[in-house]
Amino acid sequence: MRDVASLLPTRLCLGCHRDLPLDRFPPRRVGAAVRRGKCRQCLASYMRSYRAARRRKALGRVTAALARAERPSQAETLVADAFRRFGGASAFITELVGQYTAARHKNPGGRQAMNVLLALARLMELAEASRPKRDLGLLSDEDLQRQQEEAVLRMIAARPELALWAARKLDFLVVPSQTMFSQEADATASSARDLMATA
Ligand SMILES: [Zn+2]
């Protein structure tokens, strides 16, 4: 005797090519008789990758603009927009770190990975600069300058290829030590997160 399920109408999904019951295909519009060609599962995974691609593109624009920003005020505007767009500072940093990990995996020295690093360096500079004011009163201009340079140096420690950019930006010679090279970029990403949390 045939099983009841096998008597129900089915249809071939255009995504996963499985023969599935009709109710697994959502209607084109609420209440419409015409159903979509892909099953719910396929549509959900399509939407996930569609949204991820949009976030990747938006983040690419932000990091490229941040890397090009010449004045802190420019960077601050970009960052404020990005925070709004990505749903807060922590969501933005999480996205940034995630994209960096993916970009580094694909092409470690590529422009995509570099742009994320430069954006992180810029965020660290901003975070350092906006630390509690009581510290600023006690610090000399030289100390303040050194603190900002150290923030950028921590970035460079994790990714030595940043040295070129930093040398141009900070106008000083960078001499990496063995220990600097052995550090992991992941540590930098988390320290950038910490800095943003305290900012
Ligand atoms: Zn499917």
| Gap from CA of 5 to ligand 1 centroid (Å) | 18
pTM above threshold 0.75: no
Residues 6+ apart with CB under 8 A from 127: 151, 192, 195, 196, 198, 199
| Gap from CA of 102 to ligand 1 centroid (Å) | 27
| Gap from CA of 12 to ligand 1 centroid (Å) | 8
| Gap from CA of 44 to ligand 1 centroid (Å) | 10
| Chain segment 74-108, per-residue pLDDT in tens | 777 888 888 888 888 778 878 887 888 888 888 87
| Chain segment 31-85, per-residue pLDDT in tens | 888 999 999 999 999 999 999 899 888 888 888 888 777 777 777 788 888 888 8
pLDDT at position 122 is 73
| Gap from CA of 3 to ligand 1 centroid (Å) | 23
Count Cα neighbours of 22 within 13 Å in the Cβ-side half-sphere: 8
Closest C-alpha among 192, 190, 64, 172 to residue 126 = 192
| Gap from CA of 86 to ligand 1 centroid (Å) | 30
| Gap from CA of 43 to ligand 1 centroid (Å) | 7
DSSP letter assigned to residue 131? S
Q: Determine contact, residues 193/93, Cβ cutoff 8 Å.
A: yes
| Gap from CA of 13 to ligand 1 centroid (Å) | 5
Q: Determine contact, residues 110/79, Cβ cutoff 8 Å.
A: no
Q: 130: burial class by Cβ within 10 Å (0-12, 13-18, 19+)? A: middle
| 17 φ/ψ sector (left φ>0, alpha ψ -120 to 50, else beta) | left
